[in-house]
Amino acid sequence: MLTWEATGVGSHPGDDHLEALRVVFGEVPGLPYLPELPARGVGADMVGRTAGLLVDLPVEVQPSGWRLAGRPGRDHRRAVDHLRRDLDGLEEVGHGYEGPLKLQVCGPWTLAGAIELRHGDKVLSDPGAVRDLAASLAQGVADHCAEVRRRMPGVTDLVLQLDEPGLPGVLAGTVPTASGFGRLAAVEEWRVEESLRAFPEPVVHCCAPSVPYALLRRAGVRAVSADASLIRRRDEEAIGELVEAGVGLLLGVVPATDTRLPGPAAVARPALELWRRLGFAPEDLAGKVVLSPACGLAAASPGYARAALAACRKAAQVVKDDPARDLKD
């Protein structure tokens, strides 16, 4: 049972972290989150921000991207400094807040497919290096969560979201090598399941096609976050089993880039239609499904980012008040 109604995925436009936090706490107060602002540059992107959390695995930026380094340097310090400022802002804007809070980090498999070894291919190419990276990330995330709890003592439920847009490619063997001329071998599902269990009941976000719903159910995740427009009929049996197992759904029902937003009923329609096709009781929808934008809002305008979150909140009210509404409205 989820007590949340609407939230965002994570990233926001611009470089004003205090304003982004005010937007989040104002528009999705049921499940606010610590926004990411990749426009600030190196270390503020999804990979760099999370790499800054790694324990005993410093990173640096090379022309090809992020790479493991021998010791912490300027790039690593930038990532750490960005996150420290964000936490300072969270403490300021969220002063006195009581309720749930969501944190986002890059998941271990997307991270392993994005970071290179010191003298070789991507971390994903070496199973031992992947294990070390996942263990380092799990410890870094635990330390990060502990600091947030210390700074925000009113948080009643700290929700951890693992961003895994690269997971389908990892499982399918389509992740390119560092040179770009080859593809890395597909990873067995059991290895992915095992690694995800190292994180306490995460929400796993995947805005790519072919979300591995059955794998995530077996891994014991708390909820799966997906773009509703990418759900195909062939996915629905696995989604139904997910829901029956008590796993929640965060459905992306609003585009992540600027567009004309329809009214709340139209925004809610993908969730209502999916639920009806799955055959579940309408009154159970609000406790199982949370509405969000389809992906992060970093490429949107600031005004649209605010409007998109507001649209999700208003649509969630429709889901809560009238889950059996006529979908032709």
Tens of pLDDT, residues 7-51: 999 999 999 999 999 999 999 999 999 999 999 999 999 999 999
Mean per-residue pLDDT for 306-318?
97
Please give the average per-residue pLDDT across 104-126, as a whole number.
Answer: 95
Binning pLDDT at 50, 70 and 90, where does residue 161 land? Answer: very high
Is the pLDDT at 329 greater than 60? The verdict is no
Per-residue confidence band for 327, with pLDDT thresholds at 50, 70 and 90: low
Q: Is the separation of the CB atoms in 100 and 4 below 8 Å?
A: yes
Do 2 and 290 form a contact (C-beta atoms < 8 A)? yes
| Domain 17-321 bears CATH identifier 3.20.20.210 | yes
Per-residue pLDDT, 325: 65
Residue 295 · residue 7 · CB < 8 Å:
no
Q: Kindly tell me if the per-residue pLDDT of 257 is higher than 60.
A: yes
| Stretch 279-292: mean pLDDT | 92
Dig out the tokens for 271 from the structure: 């969730």
- pLDDT per position as a tens digit, 217-245: 999 999 999 999 999 999 999 999 999 99
Is residue 324's pLDDT more than 90? no
Domain ranges for the chain, please list them: 17-321
> Given this model, what pLDDT does residue 303 score?
98
CB 160 within 8 A of CB 200: yes
Res 180 pLDDT > 90: no
The answer to whether 7 touches 290, Cβ cutoff 8 Å, is yes
Instruction: State mean pLDDT over 201-225.
Output: 96
Give me the mean pLDDT over the 289-315 stretch: 97
Percentage of the chain exceeding pLDDT 70: 98
pLDDT surpassing 60 at residue 165: yes
Given this model, what pLDDT does residue 16 score? 97
CA distance 124 to 108: 10
Residues 10/36, Cβ–Cβ less than 8 Å: yes
- Residue 315, both tokens: 């649509």
> Are the C-beta atoms of 23 and 47 separated by less than 8 Å?
no
Residue 232: the pLDDT is: 94
- DSSP one-letter code for 115: P
Per-residue pLDDT, 248:
96
Categorize the per-residue pLDDT at 120 as very low, low, confident or very high, splitting at 50, 70 and 90: confident
Label residue 134 by pLDDT band (50, 70, 90).
very high
Cross-strand pairs, 250: 225, 290
Q: With 80 as the cut, is the pLDDT of residue 96 above it?
A: yes
Tokens 């997971």: give the residue: 167
State the Cα–Cα distance between residues 253 and 233, nearest whole angstrom.
Answer: 17
What's the angle, vertex CA 204, arms to CA 201 and CA 210, rounded to 5? Answer: 140
At residue 64, the pLDDT reads 86
pTM for the predicted model, two decimal places: 0.96
Average pLDDT over the chain, rounded to whole? Answer: 95
